[in-house]
Structure 1
Amino acid sequence: MPYSYTPHRFEDFEIGEEFRSVGRTVTESDLVMHSAFSGDWTELHTNREYAEDGAFGERVVHGPMTFILATGFVYRCGFLERTVIAFLGMNYMNIPAPVAVGDTISLSMEVIEKKEFSSRDDAGLVVIDSTMTNQDDEVVFEGDMKFMVKTEE
């Protein structure tokens, strides 16, 4: 399966179509930038001494950061480049395991739903089920992302 995709309009998506992102190693800078941007400096994420005595034995990234990394993978793949109108939410999202600084993660995606809107003819709904794993194939994020995608012009 290739790692770079052409932009898809609503009509281009097929139920069962799969995409896979490249891998990416989470860095200390990623964690610091997320903390600074969000204002979340919780010690579990930013205090090594405190985190080593905690449930995970090390600092882990913020749960919302894990979600943001997943959305970044979707856009990095390129199939929504200049065709997405809006992110409409999710029906479910799970973060079953933490992501730590130094983990290498990637995202697998599958189109699970496609629906025309009755209220507009310039876009449709595309739902993409996604699973992010780390270097040990441990699932660290799961969820379905709903997108409003442009139709053919």
Structure 2
Amino acid sequence: MSEMIYFEDLELGNMKEFGPLTVSRDEIIAFATEFDPQPFHLSDEGAAQTHFGSLASSGWHTTALSMKMMVEGWSRNTDAKPAGLGAIGVDDLRWLQPVRPGDTLRGTSEVIAKKESRSRPEMGVITSQVTLYNQRDEPVMMMKPIVMFRKRPV
């Protein structure tokens, strides 16, 4: 296998798994305090007054945790690293179930679209379907990141 995974190496249907990661109460509250200070993300008491019933992670926290797990997965892969050049966006981000303290998350990423860049011949664009699951294998988040990838040097 090459040192890098280039645009040409990625095929429709390629699947990667990442995780696991267990979410703590302190992490949920710390993230919410700084970035999403709504009562249901800050305490059980605040959440008890809502449909959540008890403390729930911010969806933005859940999304950030998915990125953390993906990057950690890439760094553990000693065979090859992705030749990613950054994302240009995310389509269809959905938070399907609340993430609670003590939940253990894992995810999958499947290549669902691939397109060569017309304006930048040195790169292409990959769209993936990313799904995050809790320890009960229930999907808690889905999104379609759109990522630029370097093409193999000629």
TM class by shorter chain equals 0.7 to 0.9
Give per-residue Cα distances to partners, 1:102-127, cap 9 Å, x unaligned.
10010011111111000012211011
Output the CA distance in 2 between the equivalents of 1:45 and 1:110.
30
Which one-letter code corresponds to 1:59 in the other structure? L
Q: Alignment identity in percent?
A: 26
Relative to the length of structure 2, the TM-score reads 0.86
Q: Which structure's residues are more often strand, by fraction? A: 2
Equivalent residue for 2:42, pick from 32, 42, 46:
46
| Cα shift at 1:12 | 1.2
Equivalent residue for 2:22, pick from 3, 21, 25:
25
| Cα shift at 1:76 | 2.1
- Regions of 4+ moved over 3 Å: 79-82
| Cα shift at 1:100 | 0.8
Q: Which moved more, 1:69-78 or 1:132-141?
A: 69-78
Relative to the length of structure 1, the TM-score reads 0.86
Output the CA distance in 2 between the equivalents of 1:138 and 1:82.
28
Output the CA distance in 2 between the equivalents of 1:45 and 1:105.
18
RMSD value, Cα: 1.9
Q: Are 1:144 and 2:144 counterparts? A: yes
Name the structure 2 match of 1:102: 102
Name the structure 1 match of 2:31: 34
Output the CA distance in 2 between the equivalents of 1:7 and 1:23.
24
| Cα shift at 1:55 | 1.3
Output the CA distance in 2 between the equivalents of 1:120 and 1:94.
31
Q: Are 1:84 and 2:84 counterparts? A: yes
| Cα shift at 1:74 | 2.3
Q: Is the 8 A contact 2:6 2:82 kept in 1?
A: no
Task: List gaps (5 residues or longer) in structure 1.
Answer: 1-5
Q: Which moved more, 1:87-96 or 1:26-35?
A: 26-35
Q: Is the 8 A contact 2:16 2:110 kept in 1?
A: yes
Q: Which moved more, 1:133-142 or 1:87-96?
A: 87-96
Which one-letter code corresponds to 1:107 in the other structure? G
